[in-house]
Amino acid sequence: MTVVATAAALSLPISFSKSPRLNFKKSVKGGFRVFAVFGEEGAIERKSGWETLFDVEDPRTKVPQCKGKFLDVNQALEVARYDIQYCDWRARQDVLAIMLLHEKVVEVLNPLARDYKSIGTMKKELAGLQDELAEAHRQVHISEARVATALDKLAYMEELVHDRLLQDRNTAELDSPSTLPGTSTQPLDSINRSSPKKSLNVSGPVEPYHPRLKNFWYPVAFSSDLKNDIMIPFDCFEEPWVLFRGKDGNPGCIRNTCAHRACPLHLGSVNDGRVQCPYHGWEYSTDGKCEKMPSTRLLNVKIKSLPCFEKEGMIWVWPGNDPPAANLPSLKPPPGFQIHAELVIEIPVEHGLLLDNLLDLAHAPFTHTSTFAKGWSVPSLVKFLTPASGLQGYWDPYPIDMEFRPPCMVLSTIGISKPGKLEGQSTRECSTHLHQLHVCLPSTRQKTRLLYRMSLDFAPVLKQIPFMHYLWRHFAEQVLNEDLRLVIGQQERMVNGANIWNMPVSYDKLGVRYRLWRNAVEEGAKQLPFSETT
């Protein structure tokens, strides 16, 4: 960041602290102004308009005197603030020196002044001025380095102060309820800004899914897509399944393979609440039992089925061997939101890589420049602020709250403002919002079934526009395609041995926590990390 150099180029002062009010109506107007007053003997008296711009008191007279060998966090922060003021003052002096030297150069070349000096004198003065100008530029670069160092120091001191505040904060504040699912309502000073760096190794061929990862409820389809007379085939953990509704209208999930000749059942039809195989007409109920065998004697045959339930517009299955959990998670949109789009898209990447991508917002102004992040500026610092024990939080400087909901869901609430003007607001300060649900179902080791739901708390008239869902699908696919070319490349390099989590940084916090949670599940940890009770 060339803060000082930019200030010099634009002829503007910089300040990291409150500076005196400046009045330079007569000093600067449209560029440099040089005043030359000739006396009786040809002497030149110079009055520079730049001196008032850079007239800032030397802060070294106000350096705080700290007693004792060790400083507390507030004293350390005060010392860091005076460091910034000193760098600001030093930079102003260096820039002022350059400005005055430029005025001297203009004066030397001034036709009025040239008459009073010989060519040799002017050459000598110009040579001297060039040396002084080079030295002044060198000092500017030194000041710039000082400013950068001081800013880093101040950021570090902020981390220490916030850590101290967190230690003194009542732990009950961290457990305050959220007003919106997936939305953090905790104050800034209750956020853990300092988390230890974790080492992760996600490299090599995509391994088979661990059986422990199957012991969760997984959403596999939207209720609106499952009509009474159709089937929905899908893969889950490398196994083929088919969804359909039974005689009672409740959904069922059975293996998509006929017990007779292994024919795919989804190529057949649904007859009276049973799936009929297209090969020889065998029919299966929602529990997997074969209830009809045309042209032969009925045998006691049953294919594998999964526990299957319907809740809040979604179909859920339990693919694990452990007994199913008693309660299904809730993925309803927050109060006041209406669902505008529900899409199902097959993605040719492993579901963990897709979750890594969805849990990262820092890539948006670089990757999504043709879609939702068009016009976004690139912040100097992007942070994900989250409680010490949790898988949710909010992005700074974007008005976006985000949550990872185990085992494979990402919920986000986005404050809508003018295009390209997302920075600097929280979701609570925005009057309209977009709520998104992404479900990344692990189909195979290199394929993910993505369920996407979009809800709005404004513009209900959009639901009445014909074919609007085609427009939403087109936009969603555009956004995904911007990510896919990158994530597919990651997967190729991962298979060849590259570690895709080689150097996590601060804005990778939520993605790192997902990986640590997943590792703990696969290792059989009794207490999973970042849960409500840790």
- Per-residue pLDDT, 27: 39
Among 448, 492, 455, which residue's Cα sits nearest to residue 472? 455
Closest CA to 254 of 273, 223, 225, 233: 233
Contact criterion met (CB below 8 Å) for 500 and 202 = yes
* Residue 522 half-sphere exposure toward CB, CA atoms < 13 A: 10
Cβ–Cβ contacts within 10 Å for residue 293, how many?
16
Q: Are 5 and 144 in contact (CB under 8 A)?
A: yes
Residue 375: the pLDDT is 78
Across 11-33, average pLDDT:
37
For 417-444, letters b (16+ CB in 10 Å) and e give: beeeebeeebbeebeebbbbbbbbbbbb
Summary mean pLDDT of the chain:
78
User: Which two three-digit tokens encode residue 148?
Assistant: 């950068």
Whether the per-residue pLDDT at 49 is higher than 70: the answer is no
Higher confidence at residue 191 or residue 218?
Answer: 218
The residue with greater pLDDT, 268 or 187, is 268
Give tens-digit pLDDT for 179-208: 443 444 444 333 444 444 456 889 889 999
Q: Residue 196, preceding bond cis, omega within 30 degrees? A: no
Which pLDDT score, from 0 to 100, does residue 104 have? 75
Share of the chain above pLDDT 70, in %: 70
Asked whether 441 and 451 are in contact (CB, 8 A), the reply is yes
**Helix or strand or coil: residue 242?**
strand
Contacts of residue 157, Cβ cutoff 8 Å, sequence gap at least 6: 73, 76, 77, 80
SS3 category, 463: helix
460 burial via Cβ count (<10 Å: 0-12, 13-18, 19+): exposed
pLDDT value, residue 171: 42
**Which candidate, 299, 289, 259, places its Cα nearest to that of 277?**
259
* Cα separation, 464 vs 453, whole angstroms: 17
- DSSP 8-state symbol, 386: B
CA distances from 58 to 54, 85, 88, 119, 138 (A): 11, 9, 10, 40, 21
Cα 518 from Cα 416, distance rounded (Å): 32
Question: What whole-number distance in Å separates Cα of residue 55 and Cα of residue 268?
Answer: 85
Beta-bridged to residue 432, according to DSSP, are 416
| 3-class DSSP state of 29 | coil
Confidence band of 258 (pLDDT split at 50, 70, 90)? very high
Question: What pLDDT, on the 0 to 100 scale, is given for residue 12?
Answer: 35
pLDDT in tens, 484-519: 999 999 999 999 999 999 889 989 999 999 999 999
Burial letters 238-275, b for 16+ CB under 10 A, else e = ebbbbbbbbeeeebbbbbbbbbbeebebbebbbeebbb
Lowest mean pLDDT among 244-248, 431-435, 521-525: 431-435
Domains of the chain, each with CATH number or no CATH? 61-162 (no CATH), 211-311 (2.102.10.10), 332-523 (3.90.380.10)
pLDDT in tens, 451-461: 999 999 999 99
> How many residues comprise the chain?
534
Residue with tokens 């517009």: 313
Q: Is the pLDDT at 432 greater than 50, yes or no?
A: yes
Contacts of 499 (CB under 8 A, 6+ apart): 200, 201, 202, 203
